[in-house]
Amino acid sequence: MTLQMVMLLFPRFQQLDLAGPFDVFARFSDRLQIHLAWKNEGAVADVNGLRIAPTVAFADCPQADILFVPGGAGQLPLMDDAETLDFLRRQGASARYVTSVCTGSLLLAAAGLLTGYRATSHWLPLRQLAHFGAEPIAERVVVDRNRVTGAGVTSGIDFALTLAALLFGEEAAKLAQLMMEYDPAPPFDCGSPTRAAPEIVERAREATQALQQAREEAAQRAAARLRS
C-alpha cells in the first residue's frame, strides 16, 4: 500500500524545514506519495524568497497517512488562520502520524493536535507549546505515540530518518542516511543554546525579540480559542 504524505506549504515558510525531510522521504517513492499542499496551487515564496509550487490545493488534497508541517516566520499569521488550522485539524484527525519540524509544531498545537503530547520546536519559542497543553521537550527529535516532532531547521533530516525507521524499518533508514552521506561535522560547536557561548545566545535572543514576542501573543490567542 502506498502511504499518502501531506506536507504543508505556506508563504514565508522555512524551506530547509521542508527540503531536508522531503529529500529523505522522496527516497521511498515506491511506498510513499508526497503532496505539497496549500490553499491554492500558486507558488509560494519561502522566508528568503525561494519559490516552491504546491502540488495540490486544500480542497483537492487526499487524506494524509502522514501529516507534516514545517515552520518559518510565516507560521505566525497562520496561528490566526481558520482555513489552515481547520485543514490541519481534519487531516490530523485520522492520520497515522502527525509530524512537524521547527515552529510547525506551534501550528499543530494551535489546531489542537498536540494537547497532551510531548513535543519539541525551535529552542527560542519552545516554551510556547505549553500554552496548548503540550509538554515542551528540548530534544532534537521527540516521539510521543504517533506524534513525531523535530527541533529547529536542521533537525529536519534527523526527524525524517527517525520517522522513516518507524515507517519502513531501521535498515531502510540507515541506507537512506548513507546515500545522503549524512555525516554531520559542523565547524563550530554552537548549534544549541546549551553549547553556544552565553553572549551568542543572548545576541540570538535580542535579534529575534520582536518576532518571539509576536509569536507569544499569537500563541496565547490561539490557545484561548482552543479553550473557549
Is 102 one of the catalytic residues?
yes
Which residue type is seen at 11?
P
Alpha carbon distance 119, 137 (integer Å): 6
Residue 182 burial by Cβ neighbours in a 10 Å radius (0-12, 13-18, 19+): middle
Residue 122 cell numbers, joined: 525551535
Nearest to 64 by CA among 172, 146, 180, 168: 146
Location of C-alpha cell 497517512: 65
Cross-strand partners of 4? 33
Alpha carbon distance 124, 203 (integer Å): 12
Length reported for the chain: 228
Tell me the angle at which helices 15-26 and 170-180 cross, rounded to the nearest 10 degrees.
Answer: 120
Choose, from 61, 67, 102, 167, the residue flagged as catalytic.
102
Alpha carbon distance 197, 126 (integer Å): 20
Which residues are known to be catalytic?
Answer: 102
